[in-house]
Amino acid sequence: SSGENTGRGALIVLEGLDRSGKSSQCAQLASYLESQGVAVEAWRFPDRTTAMGRMISSYLSCQTDLDAAAIHLLFSANRWEKCSLMESKLKAGTTLVIDRYSYSGVAFSVAKGLDLDWCKGPEAGLPAPDLVFYLDISAEVAAARGGYGGERYEKLEIQKKVEKVFKSLKDTTWQSVDATQSIDSIQSVLREESVKAINECQSGKQLMQMWL
């Protein structure tokens, strides 16, 4: 069946501060790709629907407290519990567009004072994204958009620290996108770059492992 799409799907991640526009951009990107005939699913981390996800959600809404190291490992485990499903979806040709991943995992924990290398440890070996969009906006501008809810990290002081760590995590898979542009301008960059990444994966680009 020459000409058939037999390659794998792409792992595309959106990262950024709260109120950077990640969730809307993810949803729009996934529906665009779907309209173009791409097999695609929109995911998000934390996945609050699992047992671990419910513990995380309770922590984020300040209903429970946990040591910084314990919640860090729980966020990581919440990705690991989805690892085999991620791999099988990608292998079967489905592209995953994911709202937050290991970079958020490290950025928020390091912002709280944990060691960078210790934080990266449990992420090592997860499927590595083919493409990471960092929706770049300063913590001040994001906060000025309003709409922080009452969750634990939705505070300017924390977001400022998180912003610094995010910027130290940039690697070759990252594309920074100015998140102060219009929704449509951002979306058109995301569409164009995603299509390229999807084509590369279809043509045999190997799936890598996170931080190994």
Contact footprint for ligand 2DT (CB under 6 A): 18, 45-46, 60, 75, 100, 104-105, 108, 153
Q: Nearer to Mg ion by C-beta: 155 or 167?
A: 155
- Binding segment toward Mg ion, per CB under 5 A, in 13-21, 62-70, 126-134, 180-188: 13-21
The end-to-end CA distance of the chain, in Å, is 35
Give CA–CA dist 67/101, Å, rounded. Answer: 21
Residue 155 CB, nearest approach to Mg ion (Å): 11
Cα–Cα distance for residue pair 212/124, rounded to 1 Å? 6
Closest CA to 101 of 121, 79, 122: 79
What's the min distance (Å) between Cβ of 10 and ligand 2DT?
19
Q: Given the complex with ligand 2DT, which of 76 and 194 has the nearer CB atom?
A: 76
Residue 105 interacts, among ligand 2DT, Mg ion, none and using kind-specific CB cut-offs from 5 to 8 Å, with ligand 2DT
How far apart are the C-alpha atoms of 202 and 190, rounded to whole Å?
A: 18
Nearest CB to Mg ion, comparing residues 26 and 38: 26
CA distance 44 to 206: 23
Q: Does 136 bind Mg ion (CB under 5 A)?
A: no
From the list 11, 14, 18, 169, which residue makes contact with Mg ion (rule: CB under 5 A)? 18
Give the footprint of Mg ion on residues 97-116 (CB under 5 A): none
Task: For the beta carbon of residue 157, count every other beta carbon within 10 angstroms.
Answer: 10
| Beta carbon nearer to ligand 2DT, 15 or 130 | 15
- Across the beta sheet with 95-99, what order do the strands follow? 40-44, 95-99, 11-16, 131-136, 174-178
Residue 127, binding choice from ligand 2DT, Mg ion, none, Cβ under 5 to 8 Å by partner class: none
Question: How does DSSP assign 80-147, residue by residue?
Answer: HTTHHHHHHHHHTT-EEEEE--HHHHHHHHHHTT--HHHHHGGGTTSBPPSEEEEEE--HHHHHHT--
Nearer to ligand 2DT, 82 or 89 (CB): 82
In this complex, which beta carbon is closest to ligand 2DT, that of residue 91 or of residue 152? 152
- How many residues sit close enough to Mg ion to count as binding (CB under 5 A)? 1
Residue ranges that bind Mg ion, judged by CB under 5 A:
18
